[in-house]
A = this chain, B = another copy of it.
Amino acid sequence: MKDVAARAGVGLKTVSRVVNEEAGVTPDTVARVQAAIEALGFRRNDSARLLRTRRTSSIGLVLEDLADPFYAPLSRAVEDVARAHGALLFTGSSAEDPRREQELVLAFCARRVDGLIVVPASDDHRYLSPEIEAGVATVFVDRPAGRLDADVVLTDNAGGVRDGVAHLIAHGHRRIGFIGDQPGIHTAAERLRGYREAMAAANLPVSNAWYAMGPTTPERVRASIDAMLSGPEPVTALLAGNNRVTVTAVRVLSGLTRPVALVGFDDFELADLLSPPVTVVAQDAPGLGRTAAQLLFRRLDGMASDAPTRTELPARLIPRGSGEIPPAS
């Protein structure tokens, strides 16, 4: 910038003014400066600029896995909102590891992002308090923050599962299985709650053998399904607690001769082309991202100190067939 000033024969500040398109510079001078900028291939150093202005125009997004088909559209929605507000996006995957989440969050804070959107992997976010007090707007999405009062945008997980289970009950099922993610994960616990509530609402007992929580590896899911289908009171229908469980469930069930009804949580591409087409409870992944990002920017634009809010987006049952299979007699 110094070089540009020298070449254009003007002061440093005048160059700054031109670069920022501030008013109050003679067109003639502007032209001279522009020419110098062009000639020298000058590009403003935003790092320095942001050091001075104390706004980085960037936000950090921490989620579980950028490559997960559920989170990818969420990120994209966040990105779109960020772009509309002229902000760039740092992304990072926590891989469900609390330490990695914290590392990422703190690294983003050290870069002085204006705000954070976090899909929590840990259940204790008190480490974030100093940052939030220091002015980093923070919105949690998909799962609430642990031990911290902060904005959160969620799907109505329990409600979604209730609808799914009610759908199965409506088609005659009484022994319904639920296969969820690790019980420590908030969404997994909520979905289990929805399952219990729906069963209770229909006055159906729930055997301990009918629900299983744990890692969503194909092996574990397969084992859980096998167990549920082979016990003394085998289930006639399954509710798969998330997209990865659903995929494995579809695979396992397709290998059986006995038909088993299935409702999956989270929609997925081509679900309608499988046989039978897979009924799902769909979350609005882009909606979660968009809502969270919009809230974040509203915080940045002034409503910084209002009380934290909690937004819940509905889940939507999409009947396609696999939930309408009648119970095997």
Contacts and interface: CB of A to CB of B under 8 A. Distances in A.
A1 interface: no
A110 interface: yes
A19 to B, nearest CB: 11
A254 interface: yes
A251 interface: yes
Contacts of A250: 270, 273
Nearest to A254: B273
A110 B273 contact: no
A239 interface: no
A47 B92 CA distance: 18
B66 A75 contact: yes
B46 A130 contact: no
A67 B65 CA distance: 12
A322 interface: no
Contacts of A48: 51
Contacts of A254: 273
B66 A110 contact: no
A65 B44 CA distance: 27
A292 interface: no
A45 B109 CA distance: 8
A91 B62 CA distance: 12
Contact of A66 (B58, B72, B134): B72
Interface in A156-210: none
Interface string A247-271: 1001100100000000000001110
A73 interface: yes
A106 interface: yes
Contacts of A107: 46, 88
A329 B68 CA distance: 43
B106 A43 contact: yes
A93 interface: yes
A236 B31 CA distance: 63
A131 interface: yes
Interface string A39-65: 001011111101100001010000001
A75 B67 contact: yes
A89 interface: yes
Contact of A112 (B47, B268, B274): B47
A69 interface: yes
A45 B111 CA distance: 6
Given A76-B93, A91-B91, A250-B273, 13 more contacts: A41-B134, A46-B107, A47-B56, A47-B112, A58-B111, A66-B79, A67-B75, A69-B72, A75-B91, A88-B90, A88-B111, A247-B269, A270-B270
